[in-house]
Structure 1
């Protein structure tokens, strides 16, 4: 970990709070702030991408942007499982070397 990593980790939440503050702490501005937070962490990869992807599941209900049940439905959509299965299959092909044959 270099000296810049903690600063970038803090830049995400600070940008979310500042964005919401400029908008009067309305839910739409919190949404924009969380999206900006995720964008910073996603591009810089200072935090694992899985953690970044789960931020809405934790923050949206807490900030009253969306309900937990409606959000969880998007994370458990059948297409998500289809893609997950494809990725697991691709990893298995790579691990066994079958993709070279």
Structure 2
């Protein structure tokens, strides 16, 4: 048998699903021994998960606090701008009224 005949016999057809090939099949579950996780490792995992959840909560609270500060700051800036606009409007009105008084006299 020449090399070409050998390759033809051993090649997987292009249309064949890769999952059908033996190298892509899942190993038999019975072949993998399952060992219980020791109690101390289970407890450690529980503590780690709780710590991660607590850290995420603190992080979220911190972000919320920062957002609240920025929002409050934005509101204060807007209030100051509104006050400034009111003062500028009053200044223009007084200036106009003063100019009218001078024009009358």
Q: TM-score, normalised by structure 1?
A: 0.27
Higher RCO structure (Cα 8 Å, ≥6 apart): 1
Bigger-Rg structure (1/2): 2
Q: TM-score, normalised by structure 2?
A: 0.26
